[in-house]
A and B are shown apart, each in its own frame.
Chain A
Amino acid sequence: MKAIRSMVLVSGDQESMKHGALEVFIAIQQQLAVFGLAEEITVSMVNDISKPGLDPLVLVYPDAVIYGGVTPDDVPFLVEEHLYKGRVVEEKRVSPYDLTGRIAWLSARKGTLPAENRIVLKNVGLIDPENIDDYILSEGYEALGKVLREMTPEETIAEIKASGLRGRGGAGFPTGLKWQFVSGAKGDKKYVICNADESEPGTFKDRLVLEGDPHAIIEAMMIGAYSVGADEGFVYIRGEYRLAISRMQKAIEQAEAYGLLGDHIFGTDFSFKLHVHAGAGAYICGEETALIESIEGNRGEPRPRPPYPTTSGLWKKPTLVNNVETLANIPAIIRNGAAWYKAIGTPSSPGTKVYTILGNVNVTGLIEVPMGITLREVVSIYGKGMKNGSSFKLAQTGGSSGSIIPASLQDTPMDFDSFAKAGVSLGSGALLICNEEVCVVDLAKVLLNFFRFESCGKCNPCRIGNSRSYEVLSNIAEGVGTEQDLKDLQMMADQLYQLSNCGLGQTAGSPLRDILAHFRAEVEAHIKLKVCPAGVCSMSGHRVYQID
């Protein structure tokens, strides 16, 4: 993909369509092709922007200029002046007095467009992952050498803390602080674990890092081990990732053969041994204490916390557990310095985030962009718009424990704090984009079916709550839901959150909470009117009697 320098949005609601929005949209596409700009400027239609009397609207980013009442005849001039020559066409611009409501917000979002910025995926697809020399030639193991020769463990931890890096597994805990906890924990033996049990539906970023750049993870784990005083580590990879497991094993063998893993690395006192542990198919093992139980040869049932793994983890020793994506940032931070990293992304969430874009968009796949990009930008620029001109209804972030994000939050910057403020969660980086053909009851049913199946069964709120929620949702989808069901769903969502033992149980109720908060009318239509507005649910339990 060429770098996208501009993004054009055309309002596509009913009013705009009546006033020729589609013709304007097509004309813009044609004119961009005329000027040879089609590769670097994206055009999409969006359905939730309009302004009576000024439709159709044309929005140009990153300038955040809004044109109103655009006709197809205006387009050649607009494209030539603004997009080709870079001059704003003042005559067609919406007057500042009309910038109220939704478009006022959009006109305020001025700034640079997020271009792909690859730190985590720097080598993925470019080097041969089965050849250690390729990795070494692209700055590989430089950071390790720097840390072992020039930095003390304390300095290394200080550098990671200063970078502001936060855990990419979903919770966003500051990485440097975690390292400091393990470093300060008392113990003669410590472990480092890489959590590669990526099981959140829709998430496959870690797989691509493991398959494409396994040495980066080895290097990062060794930097972590040196910092916290560990000499042994495990990469816990989910069993289904066969290629990732074999590549990681091969990478470890190669690093051992080069003396980069083993005793007295780089002639120092630091020694490190690394093992691969293949999971056996359990979503819950992504929870760090369940993962530890699994390595020890037990059922993957989460432990009560505290004590946290930082003080009592694998075989009750202090243990550092980091996600793959978090670790993949480490060598770059050491090589380029904390200040360099801090300048990327947003102040409270520095760096980049890897997202998997899925669902009803034209292009699905994997991107790495600075923190703070908005959903609208993701869909328009990287997803190349909604499929078949459909409209954006919701996005589901971070797999099943992520949030269901309604269209009204499309312009919220995606970083840990902005999302937390809006009451939603960034999760693990999956973006399942859904159009109006997706029914929220059906979607929640699928998500709860997942939790029902994957609950480890250790604690009641999760084991019973998920099964019961699924039953209630099934009833609603079959047209036999009652108003009491709405109250029950809310209650179960709250109880899952408040009473579950582990983080996965606590977040299992979030799809319920989100559909009740943002799509209540749609759920109520199933119950009161016995209608599925999206036409997905069978409503087969509801009989309609007709009198001839």
Chain B
Amino acid sequence: MPVEVKGEQDVRSFVRTLVKEQGSEKAELIPILHQINHEMGYISDEAIQELSERMQIPASHIFSVATFYRMLSTEPRGRHVIQFCESAPCHVAGGRQVWQSLQKELGLTNGETSADEKWTLITTSCLGVCGIGPVVIVDHDIYGNVTPDQVPTLLKNYD
């Protein structure tokens, strides 16, 4: 769960600590980006610049890596990220109706963050829990066999 977005100095010292702990080998780049994303909710420009200086890797490379992977975000996200699986097994099991219900309930569409910064709604590829499709994941909580009318209740669990 993302913590309060830190001030620029905090971000830079946080990144420095991570690099000191894990080393500046290029192979550590993705694990470090994972941790930044986890702690801050996204990977900010300052974080990329600091990482570039500490690891001696061009910022362009770090940015290209951070934007390549689905689990990393270079944009701020809401307090809760809702992932909806749009792959075939969930689709066949009635996923389309759940997706419509989610969009209607939140007033958001794919990739949008709500004005109060509470929710971010994204679609995702298969999450490997197909036995219980359709699947919705809120932060790290997995909900299976979701029906369209369960969506409002499901969202009430979060504040």
Asked if A366 and B89 make an inter-chain contact with CB atoms under 8 angstroms apart, the answer reads no
A278 neighbours in B (Cβ, 8 Å): 31, 34
- Pick from B71, B124, B127, B131: contact of A365, CB under 8 Å: B131
Asked if B130 and A430 make an inter-chain contact with CB atoms under 8 angstroms apart, the answer reads yes
Contact string against B for A residues 197-214, beta-carbon threshold 8 Å, 1 for contact and 0 otherwise: 011111110010000000
Contact string against B for A residues 384-414, beta-carbon threshold 8 Å, 1 for contact and 0 otherwise: 0000000000001001100000000000000
Considering the chains assembled together, what is the distance between the CA atoms of A39 and B89 in angstroms? 28
Residues facing A in B100-135 (CB within 8 A) are: 124-131, 133
Asked if B30 and A297 make an inter-chain contact with CB atoms under 8 angstroms apart, the answer reads yes
Segment of B5-13, B21-29, B147-155 in the binding face = B21-29
Quote the shortest CB–CB distance from B35 to chain A (angstroms).
Answer: 10
**Which of B25, B34, B89: most chain A Cβ within 10 A?**
B89
Asked if B92 and A443 make an inter-chain contact with CB atoms under 8 angstroms apart, the answer reads yes
Asked if B34 and A447 make an inter-chain contact with CB atoms under 8 angstroms apart, the answer reads no
B140 within 8 Å of A by Cβ?
yes
Considering the chains assembled together, what is the distance between the CA atoms of A300 and B26 in angstroms? 14
Q: A280-B34, A300-B69 are in contact. Are A202 and B125 (CB under 8 A)?
A: no
Q: A201-B89, A281-B72, A282-B68 are in contact. Are A240 and B127 (CB under 8 A)?
A: yes
Asked if A358 and B89 make an inter-chain contact with CB atoms under 8 angstroms apart, the answer reads yes
B33 within 8 Å of A by Cβ?
yes
Segment of A16-24, A126-134, A163-171, A448-456 in the binding face = A448-456
Quote the shortest CB–CB distance from B52 to chain A (angstroms).
Answer: 13
Considering the chains assembled together, what is the distance between the CA atoms of A283 and B88 in angstroms? 15
Asked if A450 and B88 make an inter-chain contact with CB atoms under 8 angstroms apart, the answer reads yes
8 contacts between A and B (CB under 8 A): A199-B128, A203-B130, A279-B71, A280-B70, A295-B27, A358-B130, A434-B92, A450-B86
**Which of B28, B64, B133, B140: most chain A Cβ within 10 A?**
B133
A294 within 8 Å of B by Cβ?
yes
Quote the shortest CB–CB distance from B83 to chain A (angstroms).
Answer: 9
Interface secondary structure of B, over-half rule: helix
Asked if A399 and B126 make an inter-chain contact with CB atoms under 8 angstroms apart, the answer reads yes
Asked if A280 and B33 make an inter-chain contact with CB atoms under 8 angstroms apart, the answer reads yes
| Interface size of A in residues (CB-CB distance below 8 Å) | 49
A residues apposed to B, CB below 8 Å = 198-204, 207, 238-242, 277-283, 294-300, 356, 358-360, 364-366, 396, 399-400, 430, 432, 434, 438, 443, 446-447, 449-450, 453-454, 456
Asked if B27 and A432 make an inter-chain contact with CB atoms under 8 angstroms apart, the answer reads no
Q: A360-B92, A443-B88 are in contact. Are A297 and B128 (CB under 8 A)?
A: no
Quote the shortest CB–CB distance from A458 to chain B (angstroms).
Answer: 11
A296 neighbours in B (Cβ, 8 Å): 26-27
Q: A200-B126, A202-B126, A450-B88 are in contact. Are A240 and B65 (CB under 8 A)?
A: no
A365 neighbours in B (Cβ, 8 Å): 131
Asked if A453 and B131 make an inter-chain contact with CB atoms under 8 angstroms apart, the answer reads no
B92 neighbours in A (Cβ, 8 Å): 358-360, 432, 434, 438, 443
Q: A280-B30, A297-B27 are in contact. Are A202 and B88 (CB under 8 A)?
A: yes
A360 neighbours in B (Cβ, 8 Å): 92
